A and B are shown apart, each in its own frame.
Chain A
Amino acid sequence: MAKTLRAPIILDNVTKTYGDKKALSNVSVTVKENKITGLLGPNGSGKTTMIKIILGIIRKDAGKVLLRGRDPFKDPRAREHVGYIPERPELPSSMPVREVLITAAKIYGSTNPKDTVDEAISLAGLSGNEWKRFKELSAGLKQRAAIAHALISDPDILIADEPTSNLDPIERVRILDLLVDLNRKEDLTLLFTGHVLAEVSRVAEDIIVLRNGKLLFQGSPRNLMDIASIVAIRASDPVKLSMLLEERGFKTRHTPFSLTVYLSGREEIPRLMEALAVLASKHGIDIFSIDTVEASLEEMLRRE
């Protein structure tokens, strides 16, 4: 597919409120050109709100949003080469998927809608199912139909809101791999949301983390791991050790058999080691093992 203009997505101090609840609070992020960016956060963190604001589906209350250099709410040209895969894909079921896609291709201004649709169907892996109505498709095929629909815009930017939700593990991997392939073959800027850090960090080159509508982090997956260091300790008296570490300013959680310490970064590990050495000898606590573990998103968010 021919490429025209590629431009990033820019959010500058964007705020969105629903009633009393701030869905987004002064969020400033930049989505880099031709990169895969993962947008992470628990339910209600503001991911879908952010996606909808980027696409101009809903308004922002304050701040500035630029999609391909234009305000997406006011200027529909911002969405000209932007594909969108909604959280739970839905297309009209009044006609076969192929007919819907051809009509949508006309809306996107395709000069040869049939060829555009055939290519999108092939890229999305929907071949053989394009004459079914959308409601007749399985969850995985619905996702592929939504991807085909997003591709007919001849996108420079592809925005996918939880593209793997409601899918079985095998289909999750397939869909994510398909998106990565598209990013590589078509030079797309891909922004997608997810819940699972391991899944997102497997493919994303840049990660944005939201919690309660606030930006927690933007950077590479490696940097995210660095700030999310967690140390698991097995000791003779984890309860007492936990209390002593808390007194020294560490955040901990314990069970009768083990202790978890949440660090704000890997640079805190030496300080922890020093504290463990001092406390173990002073209070006669035996330490059996110390392991650093990869933080899950949930653990990282709990620590914050």
Chain B
Amino acid sequence: MSLKRIYGLLSLDLSDTIRPPLLYFMVFVITLLSVVLAYVQLFSTTESLAMNILRPTLLATALFLALRGASGISQLVSNRVMEVYLSYPVSRLSIAIVLYISRVVVPSILLITIPLLAAGIVLEPLVVQEPSNYILMGVSFLVQALFYGSVFVLIALVAKSTGTTSILSLLFYFSYNIIALILSSVSSSVTSTLFRLAQAMSFYMTVYNSLTTNIEALRPYLWEYLLVPSLTLLSALTFILIMSRRFEP
């Protein structure tokens, strides 16, 4: 399969995903907020800077992935552009990968890295002290965004309707975070399994704890590192598998 063909399909689909103004508006707003936050708030570590910048950014990313990314896939089905994609001489596996990159990976990278870079430039003296930790925090948020996106596009394949996909995706996002909050609240101590599970449900918390905790008992276990990345991989592979083997528009 020619890479040129796959690139052509990717550019065609990306033109829809990143069409103005939604993505540009969101990137502008969250970057502006990140820069303002970097100016007005005092940060003592790169990890806390990344955490404070990227938490609201993650919410914006999840909203974009639900409302434009995943529901965009449903829209491709409802307006029959998906049939046009499937009529191209490109394998279904390639189409599935292209859709995943276009609808999940690219928007996530744009929405996470641009504010992170902007805040990093503003607080450059702080970031250069531990640039690897700053990057690791960025990657951990990116993985969390990919997790949400992977679940959302899976929902889109089943729902096939723009409205239903948006609603179910947002429902999943808020339920997931509320469950994490409840688990955290009902756990008896910070070393309990429930508390660890609540923390592990947000990959960036696991990475943050790993980078900032010196107490051995509080350091994350291996399974905490693996939880969200595994779920992300599982969801993404399920999406690609359904799309390439069973999906019918």
Contact = CB atoms under 8 A, between A and B. Distances in A.
Contacts of B87: 55-57, 79, 82, 84
Interface residues of B, number: 29
Which of A76, A82, A94 has the most chain B CB atoms closer than 10 A to its own CB?
A76
Most chain B CB neighbours (cut-off 10 Å) among A56, A57, A80, A153: A57
A99 B16 CA distance: 13
A108 B83 contact: no
Contact of B86 (A55, A95, A109): A55
A86 B83 contact: yes
A181 to B, nearest CB: 23
A106 interface: yes
B84 A90 contact: yes
Q: Is the interface of B mostly helix, strand, loop or mixed?
A: helix
Interface string B1-39: 110110111011101100100000000000000000000
Given A58-B248, A76-B1, A90 B88 contact: no
B10 to A, nearest CB: 10
Interface string A61-94: 0000000000000001111101010101011101
B214 interface: no
Nearest to B15: A94
A232 interface: no
B55 interface: no
A107 B90 contact: yes
Contacts of A106: 4-5, 7-8
Nearest to B90: A76
A100 interface: yes
Nearest to B19: A94
A59 interface: yes
B88 A109 contact: no
B131 interface: no
Contacts of B163: none
A84 B81 CA distance: 12
A145 B86 CA distance: 18
B29 to A, nearest CB: 22
Interface string B86-112: 111111101000000000000000000
B44 interface: no
Closest CB pairs A-B (n = 5): A106-B8, A107-B8, A84-B87, A94-B15, A79-B89
Interface of B: 1-2, 4-5, 7-9, 11-13, 15-16, 19, 79-81, 83-84, 86-92, 94, 246, 248-249
